Structure 1
Amino acid sequence: MRSLPIWLQALLSEKFFNACVVHEDAKKNEKNIFCFDCSLGICPHCLSSHSSHKLLQIRRYVYHDVIRLDDATKLIDCAFVQSYTTNSAKVVFLKQRPQTRNFRGSSCNLCSTCDRSLQDPYLFCSVSCKIDYLMKTQGGVSRHLSECNFLPLPEPGWDDGITMTPDSVLVTPVGSNRTSSGSERRAGTEGKQLASTATTEFVEKKRVA
């Protein structure tokens, strides 16, 4: 089984919104930014040291880490990951959330990884759950990483007025040399296959329950 790219491992394992150890005495020192060049979470006070790096803002929604759907799709294919709307922006959960209720056996749609209740036609409750599923069923995620794309940083005021620079960042998945049109066609085909496989597993889960 192939391992995840270093930046993706770091993004999923980083504990965001903890105090930055470098600026532990400063106000607003929560780590809410991810640096792709350094593969670690940083706080707004760290920006001067990472001004030329590729950056992504992490947000909070119902006490869990989320990223804007527009940003997430520039990193990895987020098809069938359930999104939510907050502050007029669509977001997706970055990591699997603790399960508070057991929905197994109910008639609702369930996450293909953690059995969390979902709306139709979604198959995954978070980016992490989709990645876990791809690792188990396809042995890797490289085919689902996006092409080189710009990730626009958020407008001032979205997160208590913290303004980030530069105006945009560039994320370049390693080993990507496909054309955009070819990637889109293949993503569409793989998305249908993924939906079919996950739906079959969902039906089998219900029968077992």
Structure 2
Amino acid sequence: MMLPPWLESLLSTTFFTGCSIHGASARSECNMYCLDCAGTGAFCIYCRETMHPHHNVIQIRRSSYHDVVRVGEIQRFLDVGGVQTYVINSARVLFLNERPQPRGGAAAAGKAAGGRACEVCGRSLLDSSRFCSLGCKVAAIKNNRNLHLIHGAAAAAAVVVEKEEEKRHLKMYRSTSPPPRTTSNARRRKGIPQRAPMGT
């Protein structure tokens, strides 16, 4: 999966702060994020109306003090397959970032119950998902890409070494001249061989 340029910025953005422009208005907490203006940070609903009227904007929500986004909103722009989803207030959501582990270790509890665990942080999962949050999926993709880069560099180095070995062998065989021909007549036959005449 290719990571869109706005994704890492979204994951590192702080939401639910008061808007510096519309702080006096009701519902002015910054819980919106513009995918077209990535990197501009969170903004409120009033900023959306004035500064991002026709842009692709998603709304961030809160669940247990953690940022979530509705699957229906984000899956139009991003493949969220493999990320654990939850139903909160009758809407399917996913967590943006990894959450702190509960005491006792969720991975141990999940494995003891025969369940699955997040491939990045080890948090227990409810179904066959691979990651507990969008952030964990991004971390896995980046880690995998780095592994490919490492393996790619190692393969390229191996090819260079192989070519150098081949060159050395060619040089060695070229520098070895064939054995000299012997000009000694010691073993040559004398005269032309004749067949014995046939008896009549």
Taking only the aligned residue pairs, the percentage that are identical comes to 39
Aligned with residue 121 of structure 2, among 102, 114, 117: 114
Residue pair 2:33, 2:57 contacting (<8 A) in 1 also: yes
Instruction: Give the Å deviation of 1:37.
Output: 2.3
**In structure 2, C-alpha distance between the alignment counterparts of 1:28 and 1:89, rounded to whole Å:** 21
Deviates most, 87-96 or 21-30: 21-30
Contact 2:58 2:74 in 1 (8 A): no
Partner of 1:11: 10
| 2:70 paired residue number | 68
Relative distance call for 1:52 and 1:104 in structure 2 (3 A) is closer
How does 1:85-124 map onto structure 2 within 5 Å? 85-101=87-103, 102-106=105-109, 107=111, 108-124=115-131
- 1:42 maps to what in 2? 43
Q: Whose strand proportion is higher, 1 or 2?
A: 1
Aligned residue for 2:69, secondary structure, equals strand
C-alpha displacement of 1:8:
1.2
Partners of 1:133 and 1:85 lie apart in 2 by: 24
Count of equivalent residues: 138
Residue aligning to 1:143 = none
CA–CA separation in structure 1 for the residues paired with 2:72 and 2:9: 20
Give the secondary structure class of the aligned counterpart of 1:129.
helix
TM-score normalised per structure 1 = 0.60
Deviation at 1:56, TM superposition (A): 0.9
Give the counterpart letter for 1:119 in structure 2.
L
- Asked which structure has the greater RCO (Cα within 8 Å, sep 6+), the reply is 1
Residue 138 of structure 2: SS of its match in structure 1?
A: helix
Aligned-partner Cα distance in 1 for 2:5–2:129: 27
Name the aligned partner's letter for residue 36 of structure 2: D
Counterpart for residue 181 of structure 1: none
- CA distance in 2 between partners of 1:5 and 1:86 (Å): 26
Determine which of 49, 56, 59 is the counterpart of 2:58. 56
Pairing partner for 2:133 from 122, 126, 131: 126
Equivalences for residues 140-159 of structure 1 within 5 A: none
RMSD: 2.1
Q: Which has the larger radius of gyration?
A: 2
Q: Which residue of 2 is the match for residue 80 of structure 1?
A: 82
- Kindly state the Cα deviation for residue 13 of structure 1 after the two structures are TM-superposed: 0.8
Matches within 5 A, 1:166-181: none
TM superposition outliers: structure 1 runs of 4+ over 4 Å: none
Instruction: Report the CA distance between 1:4 and its aligned residue.
Output: 5.2
State the Cα distance separating 1:115 from its structure 2 match: 0.8
CA separation in 1, counterparts of 2:46 and 2:84?
A: 32
1:27 counterpart = 2:26: yes
